[in-house]
């Protein structure tokens, strides 16, 4: 068999060297991609890069299965959006001091527990806070 392949030894050596080159470039690319992805997702980037160096494609497959589901920047952005919505809702709605359910600013009583929230102005009928002595809308003393 050696005599049959003797004329092609140079081509076989070149193919073998190209396969090894491809293997090293592919491994480097997998390690780099895994490190960068784990870093962006807030995972242990160096640990996962080392796992891929040692176990190659099997380590990469394990990382893909158990990696964090979203990027850390996306999680921070989502949390900021949630906080912004909560602040907007808290600013627009008040809560009843007795039952802590949301009530609108012009309610005189809580529709859930019937607690008195405000008093109506004697002149214009607008909702006033209980401790106000003058209506800011019509300047009437209460």
The predicted-structure confidence for 65-122, as pLDDT tens digits, reads as follows: 999 999 999 999 999 999 999 888 777 778 898 998 888 888 999 999 999 999 999 9
Q: Using CA atoms, how far apart are residues 19 and 60, in angstroms rounded to an integer?
A: 20
Nearest to 65 by CA among 76, 57, 75, 53: 57
Token reading at 45: 């980037």
With 70 as the cut, is the pLDDT of residue 10 above it? Answer: yes
Q: Using CA atoms, how far apart are residues 34 and 84, in angstroms rounded to an integer?
A: 33
Strand partners, 128: 119
Q: What is the mean pLDDT of the chain?
A: 92
What pLDDT shows up at residue 1? 63
With 90 as the cut, is the pLDDT of residue 38 above it? Answer: yes
Classified as helix, coil or strand, 108 is coil
More confident residue, 48 or 140: 48
The alpha carbons of the chain give a radius of gyration, in whole angstroms, of 35
What pLDDT shows up at residue 6? 82
Strand partners, 113: none
Helix-helix angle 57-66:45-55, to 10 degrees: 140
């Amino acid at each position: 068999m050696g005599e049959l392949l003797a004329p092609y030894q140079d081509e076989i050596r070149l193919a073998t060297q190209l396969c090894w080159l491809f293997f090293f470039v592919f491994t480097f690319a997998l390690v780099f991609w895994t490190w960068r992805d784990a870093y962006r997702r807030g995972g242990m980037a160096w640990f996962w890069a080392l796992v891929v160096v040692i176990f190659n494609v099997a380590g990469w497959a394990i990382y893909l299965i158990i990696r964090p589901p979203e990027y850390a920047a996306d999680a921070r952005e989502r949390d900021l959006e949630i906080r912004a919505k909560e602040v907007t809702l808290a600013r627009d709605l008040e809560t009843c001091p007795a039952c802590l359910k949301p009530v609108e600013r012009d309610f005189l009583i809580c529709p859930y527990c019937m607690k008195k929230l405000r008093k109506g102005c004697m002149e214009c009928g607008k909702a006033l806070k209980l401790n106000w002595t003058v209506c800011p809308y019509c300047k009437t003393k209460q």
